[in-house]
Amino acid sequence: MKNRWLLGIAVLVLSVLGCDLLNIFNTVKPNMVSINTVAVTPSIGSGSFTLHVDFRLKYENQKGETIHCYYVTLKGGTVDIGDLVPAAHETSKEAVFTVTQPGLYTAGCQTGSGASEKTTFTVSGSTPVTQILSVAVSPPSGSGNFEMKVEYKVFMIKDQAPQKINCTYLTPRGTTVNFDPITPTVPEEQFNTEVNLSASFPLIVLPQADGTIEPGEYKAACVTEQNSDEVHAYFTVIEAAKPLIGRIKFDYNGYQSSRPSGAGELDVITSPCIPMVTVSPDGVVSGDCEQTGPTTIRTNVTTVVHVTGTAERGRKFDFRYEATEKFPNGWGDVPGTPMDVTVWSFEQVRHVVYYTGTGNFTSATQASGEAYFDFSCDTGASNLIHCWKWAKESFSGTLPWSFEPSP
């Protein structure tokens, strides 16, 4: 009797535990699926389409929860494409479906745990389709000259006019400027298939009535002839930089060279003709000066100065400054006349100094740095000592320089 009682108790316990274990197994959640992307190919077509779903399983070695896929009709209804059940270790699945009524559709997939993704596709029917993918403007900022690039895809049909793309840009004040339409063209063998194309063309911002270009943020935008959703990009027009005009000055008090008292020689050649130097908006440094006549110590002198270089406004300023001085040396080449000195030039005394300057802007309009110089002097005759104590001389060194803008 005692054994029967114990057996009954055991059966009762097992019955209760069995029900609890069954309830536990029934409440285990399915293997969740994260949907990465949903795509339809072709994105423009007619009739048959393929839905591609890329996903990730929470537990790779188990099958995943069901993915329900669908598309939305033109009237807003939903049509099932199918239920996809990922197997263990799968990362993608496909489903084929058919749509024949022309128009723009939305396809999507979702899981029971809430993951979802959508995409769009176009049924072309008997009408050519153009779909704009992207609009870009480069550079993103500038003074008025840009390039616009439009990427798009088409579905062309023989003997049907293509759907054009209309592009514009909008100024900060709300003025719209139109471009010539983009007319897609493809070879006949690519009709009735999806083709990716692109078009690039200059985007030149037109000046205002006063001749200036309006600075600020602009919008470049494109739509198709069927007035598809606008695709746009923004770009910025910065106020055009003006040329910077001034003079390069050398500080002879900072003269450094193995040749003593050479600063005076440099000054005599450089000072008579100091050019106005221009720094253009694109960073070109230039300047020229030419003068003929007397100087403080010589008569009938021709001085020529030529300046070239590059500058990056707000940063670097580099230049080459060439100053040349010429004047007659008094010798003439007279045939048959004996000479008691050595003459190698019957024309002129020549002084030349080359300055090679490097430095940086110290303000928006001022710059300074150090210049390396090469000086040479040649009188043309052994009895002429215009080169300090000699008929010929050359030396080099350094000295400070500065650029000062004109008032």
Range of lowest pLDDT (17-21, 104-108, 248-252) = 17-21
- Give the per-residue pLDDT at 7: 54
The mean pLDDT of the chain is 84
Q: Chain-centre distance of CA 131, in angstroms?
A: 26
User: pLDDT per residue over 317-344, tens digit each?
Assistant: 999 999 998 877 555 544 444 455 555 4
- Give the per-residue pLDDT at 405: 93
- Give the per-residue pLDDT at 21: 46
- Give the per-residue pLDDT at 9: 54
- Give the per-residue pLDDT at 52: 95
By the 8 A CB rule, do 7 and 85 touch?
A: no
Q: Average of pLDDT values for 159-167? A: 89
- Give the per-residue pLDDT at 27: 43
- Give the per-residue pLDDT at 218: 96
Q: Chain-centre distance of CA 250, in angstroms?
A: 38
Residue matched to tokens 């020529």:
304
Domains of the chain: 33-123 (2.60.40.10), 129-237 (2.60.40.10), 244-405 (no CATH)
Range of lowest pLDDT (121-125, 272-276, 294-298) = 294-298
What one-character-per-residue DSSP string does 245-300 give? EEEEEE-GGG-EESSTTHHHHHHHHHTT--PPEEE-TT-EEEEEEEEEE--SS-SS
Q: Average of pLDDT values for 397-407? A: 94
Q: Which residue has the higher pLDDT, 156 or 71?
A: 71
Q: Which residue has the higher pLDDT, 38 or 240?
A: 38
Name the phi and psi angles at 268, rounded to 5: -60, -35
Residue 311: how many other CB atoms lie within 10 Å: 23
Q: Average of pLDDT values for 351-376? A: 93
What is the spatial distance between Cα 396 and Cα 257, in angstroms, rounded to a whole number? 6
Per the confidence metrics, is the pTM higher than 0.75?
A: no
Q: Which residue has the higher pLDDT, 17 or 61?
A: 61
Range of lowest pLDDT (35-44, 150-159, 336-345) = 336-345
Query: What is the band of 40 on the pLDDT scale with cuts at 50, 70, 90?
Result: very high
Q: Look at residue 379 and tell me whether its pLDDT is greater than 90.
A: no
Q: Which residue has the higher pLDDT, 210 or 183?
A: 183
Q: Which residue has the higher pLDDT, 144 or 50?
A: 50
Q: CA distances (Å), 367 to each of 135, 240, 308, 311, 407, in order?
A: 41, 21, 15, 10, 15
Range of lowest pLDDT (4-8, 47-51, 281-285, 363-367) = 4-8
Q: Residue 96: which of 40, 53, 51, 66 has the closest Cα?
A: 51
- Give the per-residue pLDDT at 160: 84
One-letter amino acid at 328 equals: P
What is the spatial distance between Cα 121 and Cα 79, in angstroms, rounded to a whole number? 15
User: pLDDT per residue over 101-135, tens digit each?
Assistant: 887 889 999 998 888 899 988 887 767 888 899 99
Q: Average of pLDDT values for 275-280? A: 94
Q: Look at residue 388 and tell me whether its pLDDT is greater than 70.
A: no
Q: Look at residue 172 and tell me whether its pLDDT is greater than 70.
A: yes
What is the spatial distance between Cα 2 and Cα 9, in angstroms, rounded to a whole number? 11
SS3 state at 13: helix
